[in-house]
Structure 1
Amino acid sequence: MTLEFFSATDVGRQRDNNEDSVAVDEEAGLAILADGMGGYAAGEVASQMLTGFVCAELGRWLREPGKQAKAGDVKRAMDICVDNANRAIFNAANTNPRYTGMGTTLVLAVFRPEGLLLGHVGDSRAYRLRAGQFAQITRDHSLLQEQIDAGLLTAEEAAFSNNKNLVTRAVGVEDAVVLELHLHEVQPGDIYLMCSDGLSDMLSDARLAQILQGNTLLPEMAQSLITAANDMGGRDNIALILVRINSQGRVESRGWWPFGRRNR
């Protein structure tokens, strides 16, 4: 099996700056998405620190000593790398007044022969489309999700809640962070969507699935998703990474920034 990647960010319709960041290392089978928080400059700094650090450090390890590593070793490497990035962001937030309170969500995917190692912090999400079945495969670290789990709200009621953006876990806001990690089996034909809440808050799961199934090429899927989110108001920055599992062909990685500013 081979992997096809496509990544994109967009500033949305109501924001002046882009606090979302994405990074892909196709050789390492690595994809990272982050949604920063903490003010005009700080959120952008946090998300770019996280994606840059993890892509450089974990990508290097996966391409070299990590090539023959077992899943348990890769999990430990992911934990260590995210912990180191968390400390760097936390220290920057506590030594520079401009960055006080900054933090970021994270979705981190490592595709291996044994499957997908998927980690996340916060309310950015990962979904899987398999044989026409669309499912969210991460669980938000948010107040809203805790209320749903406790039976205080239904999923339908949650869609209209004012507490959508209150996360209970984020990278960089404390001196330690717990990365939730799971191993998922992958199959040829699978399409994985990683995204910030600028996409998932604007579009229902049914609409996301419809757009993915209505397009053949990953760039077309990305453009359609971003356009649909902006047509619904584009209230936040939008970031997404699409990964398709192919049974043959070469690995491809492309990025596309149609409206917003490309992350550096």
Structure 2
Amino acid sequence: MARPAVILQDPAGPPWEFAAQTDTGRLRRNNEDSIAFDPRLGLAVLADGMGGYAGGEVASEMAVALLQASMGRWLAQAGPAPGSRAVMKALQQGITQANRAVFNASTVNPALRGMGTTLVSAVFGPCGAVVGHIGDSRCYRLRGGRLTALTRDHSFLQAQIDAGLMTAQEAQASPHRNLVTRALGIGAEVEVDLLHEPAQRGDLYLLCSDGLTDMVTDEQLVSLLTPDIPLADKVALLITVANDNGGKDNVSVILARFGGH
């Protein structure tokens, strides 16, 4: 069942517009994806959990809630335009703390043992986007009709592609598409990829779980993100197409647009 799309823009904050939605999909009984965003602070967080007996759901919810809380506090104290390096450091620390909390919870509760989650989070501000990423949830940027993947999957298939053992086309048909090589909460320490992307007016950023990218091609993403329609309608359309194409997994989408159309 879909959780309604939300669209908000803070007139006192940076010129960013946001919309988000998460959906269980067509085949899953529960939703192990979690999302959160705060338009006042330009913060977006998305996680896709993994683990038996509700472990994935617990892991993603914990990761999102903890990171939203820690980054929310930091951003509220940092002022209206913190530097990108400071934001990256705070995001690193927040993700590290969330990782330890999820890992500790999995070690003390046998029912949650082995749980973990992917994570993609971004802080959108006057300097652009600062993105932190673990696993195969992704961040894209659409600029001038061109879609660019800003994150690189931490997955078995991506490692195969990087080693020249498989093409991207072969990877699309592989039965091992969901094997991640890095995730939050599966160990006491975690390695996070961080990046800073300056934004231009009209840039559209997409944060999503693999329930979207496994069902919708990059070409389809461009065609769905390009039309001049409200941002919340773009989010709903992405999820509808993912479900129409099979809806094999939970689907979560966060869109952030800089400076209007």
Q: Same fold (TM over 0.5)?
A: yes
Tell me the residue number matched to 1:21: 34
> 1 CA distance for matches of 2:200 and 2:127?
11
Tell me the residue number matched to 1:61: 74
Change (3 A) 1:66 1:97: farther
Provide runs of 4+ in structure 1 moved above 4 Å: none
Gaps (5+ residues) in structure 2? 1-13
Change (3 A) 1:247 1:17: closer
- Pairwise CA distance, 1:65: 3.0
> 1 CA distance for matches of 2:257 and 2:78?
26
> 2 CA distance for matches of 1:115 and 1:223?
25
Asked if 1:95 corresponds to 2:105, the answer is no
Change (3 A) 1:2 1:69: closer
> 1 CA distance for matches of 2:86 and 2:149?
26
Secondary structure of 1:116's counterpart equals strand
Match of 1:109 among 116, 122, 133: 122
Match of 1:227 among 236, 240, 260: 240
What is the percent sequence identity of the aligned residues?
Answer: 52
Alignment of 1:1-264 (within 5 A): 2-65=15-78, 67=80, 69-246=82-259
Tell me the residue number matched to 1:256: none
Amino acid at match of 2:164: G
Partners of 2:184 and 2:190 within 8 A in 1: yes
Partners of 1:27 and 1:63 within 8 A in 2: no
Name which of structure 1's ranges 8-17 and 55-64 shifts more when overlaid on structure 2.
55-64
Show CA shifts across 1:46-100 (max 9, x none): 0000111111111111011354532222111111111110000000000001101
Show CA shifts across 1:93-142 (max 9, x none): 00001101000000010113222111100000111111111111110000
Partners of 1:199 and 1:238 within 8 A in 2: yes
> 2 CA distance for matches of 1:222 and 1:168?
28
Tell me the residue number matched to 1:262: none
Secondary structure of 1:64's counterpart equals helix
Show CA shifts across 1:132-161 (max 9, x none): 111111100001000000000111111101
Name which of structure 1's ranges 109-118 and 95-104 shifts more when overlaid on structure 2.
109-118
Tell me the residue number matched to 2:4: none
Amino acid at match of 2:172: A
Tell me the residue number matched to 2:10: none
Gaps (5+ residues) in structure 1? 249-264
Name which of structure 1's ranges 161-170 and 213-222 shifts more when overlaid on structure 2.
213-222
- Pairwise CA distance, 1:216: 1.4
Partners of 1:17 and 1:40 within 8 A in 2: no
> 2 CA distance for matches of 1:196 and 1:18?
12
Change (3 A) 1:96 1:230: same
> 2 CA distance for matches of 1:75 and 1:190?
20
Show CA shifts across 1:179-201 (max 9, x none): 10011110110111100000000
Partners of 2:81 and 2:125 within 8 A in 1: no
